[in-house]
Structure 1
Amino acid sequence: MAHAATLEHPVENSDAAEVAALVARSRAAQAQIEHYTQAQVDALIRAMVWAVAKPGVAEKIAQHTVDETQLGNYDGKFLKIFRKTRATLFDIIDDKSVGVIEEDTARNIVKIAKPVGVIGALSPSTNPEATPVIKAISAVKGRNSIIVAPHPRAKLTNKLICDLMREAIVKMGAPADLVISIDIPSVNKTNELMIQCDRILATGGSAMVVAAYSSGTPALGVGAGNAVITVDDTADLDDAAEKIRMSKTLDLAASCSSDNAVILLDAIYDEMLAKLQSKGGHILGADAKAKLQNVLWEDGHINAKVVAQTPQFIADFAGFNIPDGTQFFIVPETGYGADHPFSGEKMTVTMALYRAKDIDEAIFLTNAIQAYQGQGHSCGIYSRSDANIMKLANATRTSRVMVNQPQAASNSGNLWNGMRQTFSLGCGSWGGNGTNNNITWRDLINETWVSKPLVTPKDLPSDDKLFGDVIAKLR
């Protein structure tokens, strides 16, 4: 859907034409696999993952990503490209995505999967190594093609990964243009992609997600992350401390699922805080907290210069000292909302620390913190009490409650839980999204429902049975 050229907007029209050409190529490639069998589709996605995750290549991609973006660290990037992509493939490989995918015998309904067409995917600078792969195999699993618009800070990484997948696709006998990278990205090109594609899969900053929802194209967006973790008085404190450290430091907190706030119940507060310190947590005093606040935010927005950087870099940048062995910052906090920015998302190895007298106050704090930022995304709890776990789950406005698991490594799926593997986390109406689920290939297809008459039609029950005592109450 290229726009007519005008003298007033030559750049915009050039971008529109460029994207239109990419979409045409993508649509032609998708048409060639529209009638692929399940075996053909699954062979394609196996090849796509192997091309980027095989030994030797995964290491190269991990280092390339760190070198280009200057975000996170090698270990985190390698974990995502080597392990997360494999886990995602493993999670979907046995799913039936071609032909009849579901039969509801009680209702006599059969559901048939149909491709959407061209998927327009946004890829962030914080997870540019695995995001294009995961989105691409989800698209192709549904017999779609995909065009990936990267963050400019990760454009070379995106091209490297997409080119490797394209080469693998060709070797499998399919058209390379099932995966296309926008090699020289811009906001205008991304906007054009969102207008011209058939469905948008948006992961990135809030501005781009809003743009996706405003494009006029059906969009799957995600809400802001600001995970809040509660440790109650029944928890295994050693286990909790290690998993919080793991989550808080994974890829230097590049993920929005990193533990942004931790709530400790009174009964275990001192003991648990000591354990967090033993894991490399450094408590900031008032002066260091003020200095950190000055560099974490600029004009109310997270400062890109400190995102996913080492504790030492941030401390030097802010102008305060930290002891050797510091892995993350612990910032004591009592408030929440705009006047207490540490209650929001930080995208750094910075953890706000709260104290609650009991599980009820922890629930109150979780909701108050996430009403400011992160509502609908995820929270977690370390506990041996099913009563506390379910109380928190029932009372919080969240799509995911991760129990006794490192949040950043778990809510998007991992081998130790049953969550679907993805990097796109729907946050429901709480986060301004249309879905709560972990977005995967099932969200990237159309479904035809075939309805046949029931063998025995249903009988409408009598009014007495259907309405019961309501009748008497309404007289």
Structure 2
Amino acid sequence: MALEKPIADTDEARNIAAMVARARAAQAQIEHYTQEQIDELITAMVWANCQPGVAEKIAQHTVDESQLGDYNGKFTKISVKTRAALLDIIDDKSVGVIEEDKERNIIKIAKPVGVIGALSPSTNPEATPVIKAINAVKGRNAIIIAPHPRAKITNKMIVDNMRAAIEKLGAPADLVQAIELPSLDGTNELMKQCDLILATGGPGMVHSAYSSGTPALGVGAGNACITVDETADLDFAAEKIRLSKTFDLAASCSSDNTVIAVESIYDELLAKLIDKGGYLAQAGDYEKIAAVLWEDGHLNAKAVVKPAPVLCEMAGIEIPSDRTFIIMPETGFGPEHPYSGEKLSVIMAFYKVKNVDEAVELTNNIQAYQGMGHSCGIYSTSDENVLKLASGTKTSRVMVNQPQSPSNSGNLWNGMRQTFSLGCGTWGGNSTNENIYWKHLVNVTWVSKPLATPKVIPSDEELFGAVMDKLK
């Protein structure tokens, strides 16, 4: 049973309290569902939104309402990403005994948390509600989703589809609910009254989640840095960078914000990126685009996630209509070099370094400014360079020879867990650096039985060894 929490005497607080009460009642009805019943529910929840005809409608509505991203990106996420997320967890055991450690004689039993309060961002409002909801229900929880106001109708459409599917299977629709008229006060109340917060959104909202007094799983800011070394297949690297940089018009925080090229292949890679549709920024473009993309040090919501020609037109720059991303040569990092930060736009900062050692140092400096702990990547055929980058950077994910944006949150070509909630560890101010999925949304009871043979503390000479002599 969840701890009783005081409820403020406001209409907003009472409305949220009523939703939470319905969620608790619904969750109690599935608390003893079998694994088969739970898996049927989450399968239906995904199908209700990804099926042909419905997915197309959601994708178009998302673009029309949010004015962020493009149709193809939205359709891929609601149609393909949700299917992949289901495939990723459908065979997991989440009910009853989920693990037996015979060596330690431990049995682990999964228990539901209760009511999950989930925040859904404007950048991924099509698949985020589905993926968070199926992971919550996989753990036999209920979930209430607080959408970004810019995508509230899209969110309601998706949640209504899931509710109808749940009800047809004989389960309570209130397992999944949406705040239909989102507000800051309403979201804050949800975070106070739920049992666990799953926060995906801007730094301010994630900070509010951590400050709410409710246990929270938050995510850090993205600012992916991609290294291309002297051993890379440059045609392959350029195409994958293009794909990642332009997917959904860079709405994802995992988009390739920076490309770091080793000097021996810098010119060749640059030529290939231009050949793939890149526009190389000219003298004066740096300042003109910056003046539009940032306002008072913050990204301008009216300028982000736009096609390259549109963004350039806003900045008073004319570029060919076939250019799909912007290559912005950079040399420094930090506030005086704004392109070294997250841009939420089809702009990549482009750097030259001598070798992978310099790439490691530059990645850490860039991400110390923004994006520490989130992710980076490398195009290379050298295991030594891959491990050098992975060992030397303060990052949770290193994507090797993969397009960053569709890969670090899980994809069919890798083993990463499918999610849109990427923990960044203590580097990014988070409690985990894992890809967050249902295992983070359950309590686990550890059953400990005596060992067949108890452990024995060895002699001091064996345990402490040479340390004893060194400390004399």
1:426-465: per-residue Cα shift (whole Å, max 9, x none)? Answer: 0000000000100000000000000000000011111111
Contact 1:119–1:199, Cα closer than 8 Å, also in 2:
yes
Asked if the contact 1:295/1:318 (under 8 Å) is kept, the reply is yes
Structure 2 residue aligned with 1:155:
152
Once the two structures are TM-superposed, the CA of residue 361 in structure 1 deviates from its matched residue by: 0.6
Q: Secondary structure at the match of 2:336?
A: coil
Identical residues among aligned pairs (%)? 70
**Equivalence for 1:68:** 65
Say whether residues 1:471 and 2:461 are aligned partners: no
1:18-41 deviations in Å (ceiling 9; x for gaps): 100000011100000000000000
- Offset of 1:2 from its aligned partner? 5.9
TM-score by length of 2: 0.99
Alignment match of 2:88 (pick from 73, 91, 94): 91
Mapped to 1, the partners of 2:468 and 2:412 lie a distance apart of 52
User: Does the Cα contact within 8 Å between 1:2 and 1:20 map onto a contact in 2?
Assistant: no
Distance 1:324 1:73 in 2: 16
Matched residue, 2:181: 184
Partner Cα separation in structure 2 for residue 304 and residue 200 of structure 1: 26
What is aligned with 1:345?
A: 342
Which residue of 2 is the match for residue 411 of structure 1? 408
Deviation at residue 312 of structure 1 after TM alignment: 1.6
Q: Is the CA contact (8 Å cut-off) linking 1:117 and 1:198 kept in structure 2?
A: yes
Mind listing any 5+ residue stretches in structure 2 that lack a counterpart?
none
For residue 3 of structure 1, what is the aligned residue in structure 2? Answer: 7
Aligned to 2:433, which of 425, 433, 436? Answer: 436
Secondary structure of the equivalent of 1:286?
coil
C-alpha distance in 2 between matches for 1:192 and 1:271: 54
- The equivalent of 1:104 in structure 2 is 101
TM-score (norm 1): 0.98
Shift of 1:286: 2.7
1:2-81 counterparts in 2 under 5 A? 3-5=7-9, 13-81=10-78
Report the equivalent of 2:379: 382
Q: Displacement of 1:4 after TM fit?
A: 4.8
Does the alignment pair 1:295 with 2:292?
yes
In structure 1, C-alpha distance between the alignment counterparts of 2:330 and 2:255, rounded to whole Å: 17
Which residue of 312, 318, 323 corresponds with 1:321? 318
- Match in the other structure for 1:8: none
Paired residues of 2:309 and 2:321 also in contact (CA < 8 A): no
Question: What is the aligned partner in structure 2 of residue 398 from structure 1?
Answer: 395
Task: List aligned pairs for 1:250-265, cutoff 5 A.
Answer: 250-265=247-262
Aligned pairs for 1:227-242 within 5 A: 227-242=224-239
Q: Deviations over 1:132-184 (max 9, x none)?
A: 00000000000000000000000000000000000000001100000000000
In structure 2, how many angstroms separate the alpha carbons of the residues matched to 1:461 and 1:199? 43
RMSD, aligned α-carbons: 0.7
Equivalent residue, structure 1, for 2:357: 360
Q: Which residue of 2 aligns with 1:451?
A: 448
State the Cα distance separating 1:195 from its structure 2 match: 0.2
Provide the rounded CA distance (Å) in 1 between the counterparts of 2:36 and 2:321: 53
Question: Is 1:268 aligned to residue 272 of structure 2?
Answer: no
Tell me which amino acid in the other structure corresponds to 2:7: H
For these two proteins, the number of residue pairs brought into alignment is 468
1:297-329 deviation line (CA, Å, top 9, x unaligned)? 111111101121111211111110112310100
Amino acid paired to 1:457: P
Change (3 A) 1:124 1:459: same
